[in-house]
Chain A
Amino acid sequence: MSSVDMRLACKPADYKSDIKPIWCPGCGDYHVLMSFTRAFAELGLPSEDIVVVSGIGCSSRIPAYTNCYGFHGVHGRSLALAAGLKVTRPELTVVVASGDGDGYSIGGNHFLHACRRNIDMTYVVMDNHIYGMTKGQPSPTTEPEFDTALSPGGTGLRPFHPLVIALASGANFIARCFSGEPNETAAVLVEAIRHPGFSFVEILSPCVTFRPDEKEWKSLVHTAPVAATNDPAKAARRIMTDDGFNIGILYRGDRRPYRPAIGAASVDLSELEKDFEL
């Protein structure tokens, strides 16, 4: 079967499992799930060759809602799980799903090193500027004045700028999307997955329960006025000066992905003990 026919035969519904999500009605993640399945269908990959790896949080529930292989790991460590998996099974398509808490707080260190390592995988962070699963604590991207039970009056702390961090750490593809545009997001995901190396896609995905104010995001998002660049300095300037609602592929790099050789032994195992022999 040719790849074109394969693509025609693949429908997004083929990639959805029969498990009903527990996300609140109105949650942006329903759209993200749609973007995932639309992207997988567009790529025409067999669902058994895709692994969705996640941590802990509302966004991290997504693997079981697809019918690909999935790993719902512990909080903050999805990128490490994915690295071990991809390096040993390079032929699989690995998509990592996380949220702003799981990915930027407890997962922050692994984020830096995943960008640096540039293993071929796609990292999707559903950013809702809040910890949803644990009922509304500030995350590293929450606005400083946002009042919560754990931070009365707001944290007073400047939010992270994850796209800049990704760029500085070596990510090879950086994009920002909005969940409310699932077709656009799907198209970006297709490119991100196709792009070699570490692709980072931040999807602004409103939390209907703890951030009802995020309903206005759909009016705030706008298409990035310029095309993606492969110049990190240019990308840095753009990303550092944007308003946080610039949608599109912002950086496409040329770094070679890290892909160590794995597979056939080059010596007989008995050779390995020669160092010890007297």
Chain B
Amino acid sequence: MDERDLEERDSVSVAIVGSGGAGALTAGNFLLEAASAAGWQGLLSRTVGPQIRGGEAAALVRLATGRIECLPDHFDLLIGIDWLNAHRFGAEIGVGPNSLVISDPRGGEPPPAIAAAGARVVELPMKEMAKAIPNGRPNMIALGVAARLLGLGVDVVSALLEKRLADKGQAAIDASRAGINAGHEAAARFDFAPRLAAPRPAGTRRWLVSGNEATALGAVRGGVRFAAAYPITPATEILEWLAPNLPKAGGVLLQAEDELAAINMIIGASFGGTPALTATSGPGLSLMIEALGLATAAEIPVVVIDVMRGGPSTGIPTKSEQADLNIAVYGCHGDAPHLVVAPQSIGDCLFTTQWATYLAEALQSPAIVLSDQFIGQARAAIERPADVAFIGQRARATDIAGAYKRYAIAVNGISPMAIPGTRGGQYTADGLTHTERGIPTSGERDHNAQLDKRRDKLAQFNFGAHWATIEGAGDLAVVTWGSLTGTAREAIGRAAEDGVAASLVAPRLLSPVQPERFAAALAGKQRVLVVEQSHGAQFHHYLRAHYELPSDVRVLNRAGPLPIRASEIHRAITQWR
């Protein structure tokens, strides 16, 4: 293809699809790492079938010179090593008339959704080419193709091979290099215009990290030194990162026999003075609800990460949704206000978890962190998140004279906590309604006094500007949360280019609610577009329950597994007159 016909782009994207050991995900990871090492920003997400091994899989990669908010509406390039069972997630891979699809003629037919999009389809016998190379693999062919067409260059990718395949031996390295070269050469004949612009010089240090990893590091930075673990998709990686790393920080992780044990273990550890955390998903959170009520009533700080997945019940474990808002905010029986926060991006997972740890300790309350499968399991090359000074530090009772009142009514609602081993501070923590001394009671005065205390300590706390992301101007506010924050931001940016102004309001703090701050954020707005990944529009109902909204409200909501795209939000903004 003629160099003059190339279009330099700030962002290009590729999806690599294959099954049964084709190695599509490995190719995607290589691409992301190579591009990141060379200075580009990158975002990788994956979609997989239900099998443990050999299933259908797709690596979805977006590379850019600047910050990446979300996956693209359409992938510029789609490489199909094979299409077996790809129809299961075909609709998730956005493809348009300008997309190029490279298909192995022996790999079956592309899914109908892709065929119907009007993209150009060309053929490349990747499996055959791989067979011609000793120990050759088709995913390396695909990698070479992608490197060529996206404008990465083969050297960038080759350089990574030495590093990544060092333990597989020289033969594997040679075979992979040969495969990449073969793919790179073969791609020369393809008509593909988009080219990734040169990477910007790195102004700051950069990381390649997943949301789950960032979550785990944020917890340790916030002071967590005990974790209890019960594995569940898509949260397990948080616990797997903590298992070797928490001990390096002087902490310990214990695998529990079930989520009921996990939540109670962290409550026990926290009662003993150690900031503690567990991570789970919707089904696990359901099991933990009773104990979260206990921690709320006994005023014991704990952090629970919920990496949300498709629900209800077992749902779709490998896909993302935003439908655990209700259980997180309202799940406890009785009136049990507690902290709920939600990170807005992969990098924000670190900040929000660290902040949650700090808040939980300061307010002696459980904090639920609502992450989701998309940001939890996606990997991105991002600017290194800034260090923040939030370290969990609860008010401790020491030098106790006289009868100790664990739950003393105080001005700010926070009563210092005696840690076991502190003389004079002995008390029995209890889920039963209690007096200021912690003695069980069924009386009206103490019950109301303690309910007021626990509500007021949250209500009077100054959460600062971190409570929400508020950007932009215009009389239309796009109100969303979690991983859709970035998608909305991209849509708003495009609408601005089209001359339509809209602002973004994305709460990071979901509980306790902030009516005054929210009202200020919506001041002057006449229209609100609520965007959320929930079939029952949980966020919309939450907003209506706790906040004043203008009379003109539209809701763009849907369940998973298809993530709401920037183009959809853009259309909703620009077509609303």
> Residues of A with Cβ closer than 8 Å to B?
19, 46-49, 51-53, 63-64, 67-74, 76-77, 79-89, 91-92, 109-110, 112-113, 260-267, 269, 271-273, 275-278
Contact = CB atoms under 8 A, between A and B. Distances in A.
Contacts of B263: 80
B428 A262 contact: no
A64 B428 contact: yes
Given A88-B225, A89-B420, 18 more contacts: A48-B421, A51-B272, A52-B428, A67-B426, A72-B440, A74-B264, A79-B261, A85-B420, A88-B272, A109-B261, A113-B257, A261-B252, A264-B250, A266-B247, A266-B250, A267-B248, A276-B208, A276-B213
A77 to B, nearest CB: 4
B207 interface: yes
Contacts of B426: 47-48, 67-70
A88 B264 contact: no
B268 A84 contact: yes
B37 interface: yes
B399 to A, nearest CB: 13
Contact of B248 (A53, A64, A109, A272): A272
Given A88-B252, A278-B381, A77 B260 contact: yes
Contact of A85 (B251, B272, B439): B272
26 contacts: A48-B422, A51-B272, A51-B420, A52-B428, A69-B427, A70-B426, A71-B268, A72-B430, A72-B431, A73-B267, A73-B291, A77-B264, A88-B276, A89-B273, A92-B272, A92-B421, A109-B258, A265-B248, A266-B247, A271-B248, A272-B245, A272-B249, A277-B384, A278-B36, A278-B37, A278-B208
Interface in B255-313: 256-258, 260-274, 276, 290-291, 294
B156 to A, nearest CB: 13
Contact of A81 (B220, B267, B440): B267
B205 interface: yes
B432 interface: yes
Contacts of B274: 88-89
B228 interface: yes
B256 A80 contact: yes
Contacts of B432: 72
Contacts of A276: 207-209, 213, 217
A260, A264, A272, most chain B CB atoms within 10 A: A272
A260 B420 CA distance: 20
Main DSSP-derived SS at the B contact region: mixed
B394 interface: no
What are the 7 closest A-B residue pairs judged by CB atoms, nearest first? A70-B428, A84-B268, A84-B265, A80-B264, A81-B268, A84-B269, A85-B268
Contacts of B262: 80
B221, B264, B271, B294, most chain A CB atoms within 10 A: B264
Given A71-B271, A261-B247, A269-B220, A110 B207 contact: no
A83 B267 CA distance: 10
Interface string B34-45: 001100000000
Contact of A71 (B220, B261, B428): B428
Nearest to A67: B426
A72 B429 contact: yes
A114 B139 CA distance: 47
A275 B244 CA distance: 12
B294, B426, B432, most chain A CB atoms within 10 A: B426
B91 interface: no
Contacts of A49: 420-421
A51 B271 CA distance: 10
A91 B249 CA distance: 20
B206 interface: yes
Contacts of A265: 248-250
Contact of A80 (B213, B268, B272, B420): B268
Contacts of B291: 73-74, 77
B226 interface: yes
A74 to B, nearest CB: 5
B261 A113 contact: yes
Nearest to A260: B252
A80 B207 contact: no
A52 B421 CA distance: 13
B456 to A, nearest CB: 25
Nearest to B430: A72
A187 B453 CA distance: 44
Contacts of A69: 418, 420, 425-428
Contact of A84 (B208, B260, B267): B267
A67 B418 CA distance: 14
Contacts of B250: 262-266
B331 interface: no
Contact of B268 (A53, A72, A263): A53
B268 A272 contact: no
A190 to B, nearest CB: 21
Contacts of B261: 77, 79-80, 83, 109-110, 113
Contacts of B421: 48-49, 89, 91-92
A46 B423 CA distance: 8
B424 interface: yes
A63 B273 contact: no
Contacts of B423: 46, 48
A91 B274 CA distance: 14
B132 interface: no
Interface string B72-99: 0000000000000000000000000000
Contacts of B266: 84
A53 B428 CA distance: 9
Contacts of A52: 428
Given A64-B439, A265-B248, A84 B228 contact: yes
Contacts of A92: 272, 420-421
Contacts of A109: 257-258, 260-261
Nearest to A61: B440
B188 interface: no
B254 interface: yes
B252 A71 contact: no
A82 B269 CA distance: 8
Interface in B382-403: 384
B80 to A, nearest CB: 30
A48 B221 CA distance: 30
Contacts of A267: 248-249
A81 B272 CA distance: 10
A91 to B, nearest CB: 7
A81 B225 contact: no
Given A88-B274, A276-B213, A269 B249 contact: yes
A47 B427 CA distance: 11
B269 A85 contact: yes
Given A88-B272, A269-B221, A272-B217, A81 B264 contact: yes
Contacts of A88: 225-226, 252, 269, 272-274, 276
